[in-house]
Amino acid sequence: MKKIQWSKFSLIILATILLWLKTYIVYKTSFEIKIENWKQELILLLNPLSFLLFIFGIGLFLKERRQKHFLLISSFIISAVLFANVVFYRFFNDFLTIPVLFQASNMSDLGSSVNELLNWSDWIYFADFAILVLIVFLKPAFAAYRPVSKMYRRAYFLAAAAIAFFNLAVAETERPQLLTRTFDREILVKNIGTYNYHIYDLFLQSKSSAQRALADGSELADIANYVAADYKKPDEEMFGIAKDKNVILISMESTQDFVINETVNGQEITPFLNDFIKESYYFENFYHQTAQGKTSDSEFLLDTSLFPLSRGAVFFTHSNNKYHATPEILKDQGYFTASLHANNKSFWNRDIMYQAFGYDRFYSLPDYQVSNKNSVGWGLKDIDFFEQSVHHLKEMPTPFYAKFITLTNHFPFDLGEEDQFIEPYHSADKTVNNYIQTVRYQDEALKIFIERLKDEGLYEDSIIILYGDHYGISENHNEAMSEFLGKKVTPFVSTQLQKVPLIIHIPGREGKVISKVSGQIDLKPTILHLLGIETKGSIEFGSDLFVKDKMDFTVLRDGSFITKNYVYTKGICYEKETEKPIDKSACEPYMEKAKNELEYSDKIIYGDLLRFYEESNPES
């Protein structure tokens, strides 16, 4: 048998090695991928190789000129995909998915956020491509075209296939049922690689598109039985306590619970909220459950009591679905329903999704007077937003259901000196420092807004619900957060940082702190029960927060879950009291429930199963 002459593959092999090594370096320097043993390190090193060998191997079938063009173009595109993941990861601590790419219409509004995420040194992510270009044009002898026989091509692809199967085999020993039982993209990237992960993501996207066409009402019946078994009868004292009152919902952008009752330089970060809590119901163990859709995901949870998807934003990918949402339900009860947000109506596809939810009116950018003077960061400052929104409230028919979406406390947390109400926090992390300032500004805006509601006679006739929509400080800022909290940010602490404030103010009721573990998915049944609207028979995964025997349980979109005594995240079970890992068996009784709820919710969305709801519930 002839010895294989690898010189015949020189440019292809060089392109593969350069991009392979670059990818591994990026894994180690730009992503926070947890490695626990030598086997995982080996998998991480190997996982880009088979994909690159297959892609660049296509060049073996091309003639000289086309081969060089193909290699250069492929190298650039793959580098661009890797770099896009790096930029996305810098803020979201997550990897891109195909549905996220459908959200490209949002890019025009990202502005300063994207600029903040880019560095002058980012050219290094394309250094291997530059080397290839220089070799092709300055060292053509090295990149000389060498035709190869079928035998050589066969040997090449057999080697690529062997590496791929070896990678999968080792990965399967580390993570059994890797491709069927995971909600964690980090685990996928760690085991099959960034590029293979995107191919898998394409498969998932195709699969989800087919699910709607193949779905039927029988699947909904199974889910309805599961939900019915978990239904809890509303608390008699709280059911209907706010009947016919207005509902004012305020989505507090990027607001995490750690700022509540916290000080910086002896000054309260949220002085108004700290006082407002004393005369309201405050849920101190309330978690956001959003994924890549962020604020839109929180809206989805609020209005549907379904989980958002782990990939992309439901607002984009499934806006034509049938939903049984809160605005639609309240319209049937005589409510006027509206959302108020001083941004483009198409951002997060809200103009389309709000129609599916049944909103009567969306007050968007054209409904506000916006100028350079009253704007910062993403747009209209919160104080001005609330002031102008009061006029819209006064014009609404009553009772109304009005949702406010704030903007100022948004990454990169820009704020002018004239709007800074607290002395700066000083750390080495600009993002954390700025975040404290914008949270304090938001708090002031809320104070002024509540005072205006009182002045306009709207306060006493309304229940006011304030909730954090998602995290503001990602895991990329763990070092500064460790300094702020005075303890290391472990996976346990990181999960606890997913708590967001939930404050429900009901006129005439005394304040109370409620410690039940809960999440955004619980808001819909809670609101409807307060208004005296029964939810029995509805397809939803939340529970009324005022039910006395509500289970202490909430599941996050990545599969992590929290109970009264335990936190389960990244495959580790932690005891809350000690904050230390314990035997996984303590968390096992809750694993099936967490898995079922996420999978059932996904089935509803992918299959558009609620279109069968009216057929199975003719009286609804």
Strand partners, 503: 282, 466
Give per-residue pLDDT as tens, 523-532: 999 999 999 9
Backbone Cα Rg of the chain: 26
Would you kindly state where each structural domain of the chain is located, as residue ranges? 6-210, 233-542
> Which of 292, 348, 315 lies closest to 474, judged by CA?
292
Q: Among 251-255, 317-321, 434-438, where is mean pLDDT lowest?
A: 317-321
Work out the pLDDT band at 618, boundaries 50, 70, 90.
Answer: very low
Q: Can you give the pLDDT at residue 311?
A: 81
Q: Which residue blocks in 536-607 are alpha helix, DSSP H?
A: 588-607
Could you read off the pLDDT of 483-507 as tens digits, one per residue? 999 999 999 999 999 999 999 999 9
Helix (H, G, I), strand (E, B) or coil at 281: strand
Rounded to whole angstroms, the Cα distance separating 204 from 210 reads 10
Average pLDDT score over the chain: 88
How would residue 316 be classed by pLDDT, with cut points 50, 70 and 90?
confident
Q: Which of these ranges, 121-135, 139-153, 420-434, has the smallest mean pLDDT?
A: 139-153
For residue 577, the one-letter residue type is: E
In sequence order, what are the residues at sequence separation of 6 or more whose Cβ sits closer than 8 angstroms to the Cβ of residue 380?
342, 368, 370, 374, 388, 407
pLDDT for res 142: 67
d(C-alpha 388, C-alpha 382), whole Å: 10
Q: What pLDDT score does 619 carry?
A: 47
pLDDT of 452: 97
Query: Bigger pLDDT: 313 or 580?
Result: 580
Mark out the alpha helices in 33-124 (DSSP H runs).
38-46, 49-57, 64-92, 98-101, 107-110, 112-117
H or E stretch at 336: strand 336-340
Neighbours of 371 (CB within 10 A): 8
Mean pLDDT of 370-377: 88
Q: Are the C-beta atoms of 195 and 51 separated by less than 8 Å? A: yes
Cα–Cα–Cα angle for 228, 230, 233, nearest 5°? 85
User: Is the N-terminal amide bond of 399 cis, ω within 30° of 0?
Assistant: yes
pLDDT value at residue 99: 63
Helix 150-174 and helix 185-192, axial crossing angle in degrees, nearest 10: 140
Question: What pLDDT does residue 331 have?
Answer: 95
Q: pLDDT band for 88, please (50, 70, 90 cuts).
A: confident
- Cis preceding linkage at 491, omega within 30: no
Q: Does residue 620 carry a pLDDT above 50?
A: no
Decide: 464 and 447 in contact? Cβ < 8 Å: no
**What does the pLDDT read at residue 400?**
97
Determine the average pLDDT of the residues in 198-207. 77
Query: What is the predicted pLDDT for the residue at 8?
Result: 45
pLDDT the model gives residue 98: 67
**pLDDT at residue 3, rounded to an integer:** 47
For residue 292, name the pLDDT band (cuts at 50, 70, 90). confident
- Helices within 93-176 (DSSP H only): 98-101, 107-110, 112-117, 127-138, 150-174
pLDDT at 170: 86
For the chain, give the percent of residues with pLDDT over 70: 90
The predicted-structure confidence for 466-475, as pLDDT tens digits, reads as follows: 999 999 998 8
- Can you give the pLDDT at residue 67? 84
**Proportion of the chain above pLDDT 90, given as a percent:** 59
pLDDT bin (cut points 50, 70, 90) of residue 217 is: confident
Q: Tell me the pTM.
A: 0.77
Q: Give me the mean pLDDT over the 59-71 stretch.
A: 85
The mean-pLDDT minimum among 162-176, 207-221, 289-303 falls in 207-221
pLDDT over threshold 60, residue 83: yes
Please give the average per-residue pLDDT across 348-365, as a whole number.
91
Can you tell me the distance from the alpha carbon of 44 to that of 26, in angstroms, rounded to the nearest whole number? Answer: 11
Determine the pLDDT at residue 1: 42
Please check the confidence at residue 4 and state whether its pLDDT lies above 50.
Answer: no
pLDDT of residue 52: 93
Rounded-to-integer distance, Cα 238 and Cα 523, Å: 14
pLDDT attached to residue 5: 45
Q: Report which DSSP code applies to 542.
A: -
Residue 101's pLDDT band (cuts 50, 70, 90): low
572-605 pLDDT, tens digit each: 999 999 999 999 999 999 999 999 999 999 999 9
Contacts of 408 (CB under 8 A, 6+ apart): 253, 376, 377, 378, 381, 382, 415, 438, 441, 442, 445
According to DSSP, residue 311 is labeled S
Average pLDDT over residues 480-484: 94
**DSSP state at residue 215:** -
Buried b (16+ CB within 10 A) or exposed e, 490-518: bbbbbbbbbbbbbbbbbeeeeeeebebbb
Residue 329 has pLDDT above 90, yes or no: yes
Return d(Cα 116, Cα 430) in angstroms, integer. 11
DSSP state string for 449-465: HHHHHHHTT-STTEEEE
8 Å CB contact between 386 and 404: yes
Q: How many CA atoms within 13 Å lie on the side-chain side of 155?
A: 13
13: enclosing H helix or E strand: helix 10-30
pLDDT(7) > 60: no
Between 84 and 562, residue with greater pLDDT: 562
Amino acid, single-letter form, for residue 171: A
Query: Which are the catalytic amino acids?
Result: 295
The runs of H, that is alpha helices, within 175-310 are: 185-192, 194-214, 217-230, 271-277, 294-304
pLDDT, mean of residues 349-370: 92
Return the CATH architecture of domain 233-542.
3-Layer(aba) Sandwich (3.40)
**pLDDT at site 282:** 98
Predicted local distance difference test score (pLDDT) of residue 192: 86
Q: Pick 529 or 189 by higher pLDDT.
A: 529
| pLDDT score, position 149 | 78
Question: What is the DSSP track for 218-253?
Answer: HHHHHHHHHHHHH--PPPTTTTTTTTT-EEEEEEET
What are the C-alpha distances in Å from 227 to residues 121, 221, 489?
A: 52, 10, 35
β-sheet bridge partners, residue 198:
none
Give the single-character DSSP code of 130: H
